[in-house]
Amino acid sequence: MSTTAIIIIVIAIIVIVVIAAAVARRAQARRIEQQRVQASEHRREAEAQALTAERERAAAEEQAAHAKQQHLAAQERHADAEQQREQAEALKRRADELDPDVDADAAERDAAERGQDPTRR
C-alpha cells in the first residue's frame, strides 16, 4: 500500500471515530434531557399529591373538630337532661310530702320493692 492510501485510511478512521463520538454525545445528551423531563414530571406529580394530602389532612382535622364539638354538645345535653330529671324527681317527692292524700311511707316502700332508692324516685 502506498503512503497516501494509509494516510487516507487513517484520516477516514479518525473521521469515523469523531463522528461516532459526536453521535454518542448527542445520544447521551438526549438521555440526560429525557431524565430531566421525567424528573420534572415526577416533581410536579409529587407536589400535586402533597397538596392533595394536605387538603385531606385539613379536612380530617376539621371533621375531627366538628365531631368533638358535637360530642361535647351531646354531653352537655345529657347533663342537662339528668339535672332536669333530678329536679322533676325532687318536685315529685316534695309534692308527695305536701299532699295529705299520699302516704309517704308507702311510696318509699314501693320504690324499695322496685329496687330504687326511695330518695330518688
What the block records as the C-alpha cell of 84 is 332536669
Looking at residue 105, its pLDDT comes to: 64
Could you report how far apart the first and last alpha carbons of the chain are, in Å? 128
Model confidence band, residue 121 (pLDDT cutoffs 50, 70, 90): very low
Q: Answer yes or no: is 120 within a domain.
A: no
Q: What pLDDT digit, counting tens, does each position of 39-96 carry?
A: 999 999 999 999 999 999 999 999 999 999 999 999 999 999 999 999 999 999 888 8
63 belongs to a structural domain: yes
In a domain, 106, yes or no: yes
Split into its structural domains, the chain has a count of 1
Residue 121 lies in a domain: no
Q: How far apart are CA 50 and CA 92, in angstroms?
A: 62
Element (H, E) at 23: helix 3-98
Which triple of cell numbers denotes residue 34? 429525557
Instruction: Give a yes or no: residue 9 inside a domain.
Output: yes
Query: Does the residue 97 lie in any domain?
Result: yes
Rounded to an integer, what distance in angstroms lies between the CA atom of residue 6 and that of residue 75? Answer: 101
119 falls within a domain: no
Contacts of 109 (CB under 8 A, 6+ apart): 118
Asked whether the beta carbons of 104 and 97 are under 8 A apart, the reply is yes
Question: Using an 8 Å Cβ cutoff, are 96 and 110 in contact?
Answer: no
Residue, of 6 and 112, whose pLDDT is higher: 6
Tens of pLDDT along 85-117? Answer: 999 999 998 888 888 887 766 666 666 665 555
Kindly state whether residue 11 falls inside one of the protein's structural domains: yes
Range of the domain at 7: 3-113
Predicted confidence (pLDDT) at residue 19 exceeds the cutoff of 90 = yes
